[in-house]
Amino acid sequence: MMQISPGSKRPLAILLSLAVGLALSGCAIRLIADYDEHVDKATTEIQRKVESFLIKLERSVGTPAADYSQHVALYDDVRVDLSALKVRASAIPKNSITVEQIDLVSDSWSKLEQLHKIGFKTREEIAPLRRNFNQAFTQILKLELAKKRGE
Amino acid sequence: MAIDASDVSQKMVQAAADSLKGKWPSIKDFAEAEFKHLAETLALIVRLKAEGKITEDQAKLHLDIQKNTTRMVLLTAEGLSLLVVETAINAALKVVRDTINTAIGFALI
């Protein structure tokens, strides 16, 4: 006879909920959200906007063109884009990982704005920022594309 | 004082591996590359601060952004692991679908 230790109750509960889910759905289980084309395209578009901005910033550090005051609208624009992306991602069931990733990149965007308000003295500061934002958007896209599940 | 990014990276990888134990193999590839970047960023922050090119507040903001990115990499690893588990469960259920559905008398699976 199968013994159930106290520590094994949680996995059992998960399996039971899966079984109930299967009975109700009559189809394959889903532990994570399905692929969403809008999240894919919007993330790619925001990455392009941010990378374009950082390349120009990298080139113009030390000139008036790099001043924060010249780029306030862009910070607001990207913030709106990220907010819209989060709303879309939040509406998809079992999408909490992607939503958390969007929260993190939004936080990074706010911190970039704080850095910019203080001012950049050297181009060397921009290189790791470009890498970080590219890596961040890559992570959202990597997971989103994997959600296609070989389709 | 300059720091050795490679040495810092190795120490972080070892600490993470010790901390995660059984889960480490599933995120090893993601984590090693990202800890290397984290170490490089830390070395750059230390150098720029020493050269007077950034302030303490700026150093903290740079590190916060890097930490967010590292967390995103690990979240992707978590999501990909869930997809692997999902595939395995569905494959297991698929091979017994006909048997179970016939036995229970309706399309349970």
Residue B56 located in a structural domain: yes
Which A residues 52-91 touch B at CB under 8 Å? none
If one counts the domains in chain B, the total is: 1
Lowest mean pLDDT among A5-9, A77-81, A103-107, B94-98: A5-9
**pTM reported for the whole predicted model:** 0.84
Report yes or no: A22 at the B interface, CB cutoff 8 Å: yes
Residue A11 located in a structural domain: no
Residue A19 located in a structural domain: no
- Residue A26: is its pLDDT beyond 80? no
The answer to whether A33 and A98 are in contact (CB under 8 A) is yes
Residue-wise pLDDT for A134-149, tens only, equals 999 999 999 999 999 8
Q: Which residues of B touch A29 (CB under 8 A)?
A: 86, 89-90, 93
* ipTM confidence: 0.85
How near does any CA of chain A get to the CA of B56, in Å? Answer: 11
Q: Which residues of A touch B85 (CB under 8 A)?
A: 31
Residue-wise pLDDT for A33-43, tens only, equals 999 999 999 99
The answer to whether A128 and B44 are in contact (CB under 8 A) is yes
Mutate to test the interface with A, among B65, B67, B70, B98 (most CBs of A within 10 A): B65
Closest chain B residue to A140 measured between Cα atoms? Answer: B76
Q: Which residues contact A16 (CB under 8 A, 6 or more apart)?
A: none
Provide the domain limits for residue B74: 5-104
Residue-wise pLDDT for B77-92, tens only, equals 999 999 999 999 999 9
Q: Is A16 or B66 the better-scoring residue by pLDDT?
A: B66
User: Which residue type is seen at A123?
Assistant: R
Residue A59 located in a structural domain: yes
- Residue B56: is its pLDDT beyond 90? yes
φ and ψ of A116, to 5 deg: -65, -35
